[in-house]
Chains A and B, each alone.
Chain A
Amino acid sequence: MNTPDLSVEIAGIKLRNPVMTASGTFGYGAEFARYMDLESIGAIITKGLSLRPKAGNATPRIVETPGGMLNAIGLQNVGIDAFIADKVPFLRTISTPVIVNVYGNTLEEYGELAGRLDRIPEVAGLEVNISCPNVKQGGIVFGTDPAAAYEVVKMVRDATIKPVIVKLSPNVTDVVVMANACADAGADALSLINTLTGMAIDLAKRKPVLANITGGLSGPAIKPVALRMVWQVARAVQLPIIGIGGIMSATDALEFMLAGATAVQVGTANFLDPTAAQTIARDMERYLVEQGIADVKELIGALRS
């Protein structure tokens, strides 16, 4: 049979296949160039970026948990000036679309950041981080209150003509309410889920393991929660959805597509295996060939009831 079509489109961004790398797990792309072919995946989402450089949290910042890990990095990043000076030149050398994850302490910071990125041709789109659980100001506040989410998405929407993806937090009572608020504010697509807030305790020391006390849980442990939320949002909202949460294999990725995702993000798996995203994309193609499926888009939302 002919080579199957793995391409998908998210808010006007054409992806050669549905596999993206999740923000915060893939640096700025260059870190992985020597381990895998960056041209083999659908898109790269860069580490959460803020206007000014951000120090991040004290250490320990990460701890392994059964089937997952907790992190409380605290959005350490180089800030937009260094991003433009030091990171964008590399991104210019690859054809894979680069989506920049953005984060602000205030509404105005989100707007200013989006406005500056709007002028950078190497940036294919923005992913608005309204769901980081590890920073005291902003972040999670915007991600758990639908009115605040509406405001921040509106602010970014008005500041850029580039595609706007909003990354949703699972740490809410009803994710559909948040999804609707973002859709109403003009989001082009939704990505979910970010990490689940969690905690680890050291019995011997009677102390929390993380310096930040709590952190975000990622990895295979959260996949069932993520699948459920993607399925719920896909049924309720018309926007394209990017599924995230514990994707370690092509099987996991395809399950998210059945639940309604148009594309997926691979996160924690990049830490275990720097070639994970490439391998998953390759194995998705193999699955389509084996199953005689001509176009991966046939699987989006194709869950049988």
Chain B
Amino acid sequence: MNFKATVITNVEVSPGYFRLRLTAPQFFVTASTPGQFVMVRVSASIDPLLRRPFGIFDVGVMATEYPDVQQPFLDILYRVVGKGTAMLAGFHHGDQLEVLGPLGKGFGAGDAAEDKILVGGGVGLAPLYYLARELVKESRVHLFAGGRGRDDVLCITEFERLGVETYVSTDDGTLGERGLVTEVLERYLGNGTSAKTIYACGPFPMLRAVAEIAGRTGISCQVSLEAYMACGVGACLGCVVKGRNHAEVTPDYRCVCKDGPVFDYTELSWEQRL
């Protein structure tokens, strides 16, 4: 559904990264699942023209200044990368924008009894928070969070507050271990685990490395992809990725917006560059 949302808060949680809380209809809170996304129109004018896709960081219902009124909300976590997100960073309490969603196919829940592993790179942590909040109800959750530096590893305390066990790594060693998140993951798995599912979101090379680890260890793995898209509903075909069986004569393109953004890693071709 398409709805007008009002900004509740728009807070810079780390240099260049913002957490935006918007009003949402109750329907949105009820209907959305972890891993789904929204398309946000940051300007009513024609520049920028297109909406911007953002994974859902959290949804819920919050108290208001009126004791009898509860406000359903939607949170997104975004990095300022271009014109659209720079404009978004300028939004204040009370400003309005248009939101389309929830869109796409989210994460599958997996077996409640097993431990769950989450792997997030940079702003790829965004959809994993909503997922973790659901998973901790029934499973032990281990988060592997990576980024270039300390400013790029976001909201770790929020995960810890959920009871998630966290492992942090950075490329430059300014927070947690120095190195790649997938190296930390691999070492962890080498010590043995009861986890049977990995959920990952982040840059494509990170996802490829996670998929490779999943393939080698036999642990199932769901990845959430990011892509440029115009419509978010499967019409423009701008956001496609190659599926496992892709060939020129028998095309197997999947829309990130509609067939994803979450895919089982075996559904995709990992040869492609994204």
Contact residues of A with B, CB < 8 Å? 24-27, 31-32, 35, 47, 53-56, 59-64, 66-69, 71, 73, 76, 219-220, 248, 268, 270-275
Contacts and interface: CB of A to CB of B under 8 A. Distances in A.
B268 to A, nearest CB: 13
B233 A69 contact: no
B271 interface: no
Interface residues of B, number: 33
Contacts of A272: 41, 49-51
Given A31-B235, A56-B237, 10 more contacts: A25-B236, A27-B234, A32-B233, A55-B246, A56-B240, A59-B240, A71-B230, A73-B236, A272-B51, A274-B100
Contacts of A55: 246, 248-249, 251, 253
21 contacts: A24-B237, A27-B235, A31-B235, A32-B233, A35-B1, A55-B249, A56-B253, A59-B227, A59-B239, A62-B239, A67-B49, A69-B49, A220-B46, A270-B235, A271-B231, A271-B235, A272-B41, A272-B49, A273-B41, A274-B100, A274-B231
B49 A273 contact: no
A169 B213 CA distance: 49
B47 A67 contact: yes
B49 to A, nearest CB: 6
Given A53-B250, A71-B236, A73-B236, A270 B231 contact: yes
A136 B72 CA distance: 50
Contacts of B71: none
Contacts of B229: 62
A32 B235 contact: yes
Contacts of A27: 233-235
A32 B232 CA distance: 11
B34 to A, nearest CB: 21
Contact of B46 (A62, A67, A271, A275): A67
Nearest to A72: B238
Given A31-B234, A54-B251, A59 B50 contact: no
B40 to A, nearest CB: 11
Most chain A CB atoms below 10 A, which of B2, B239, B240, B246:
B240
B104 to A, nearest CB: 13
A62 B228 contact: yes
A24 B230 CA distance: 12
A76 B253 contact: yes
B49 A68 contact: yes
Contacts of A60: 228, 238
Interface in B76-91: none
A84 B235 CA distance: 18
Nearest to A248: B46
A242 to B, nearest CB: 19
Contacts of A66: 47
B48 interface: yes
Nearest to A54: B251
B62 interface: no
A76 B50 contact: no
Contact of B237 (A61, A64, A69): A61
Given A55-B253, A56-B251, A270-B231, A73 B237 contact: yes
B274 interface: yes
A67 B43 CA distance: 12
A180 to B, nearest CB: 33
A66 B227 CA distance: 20
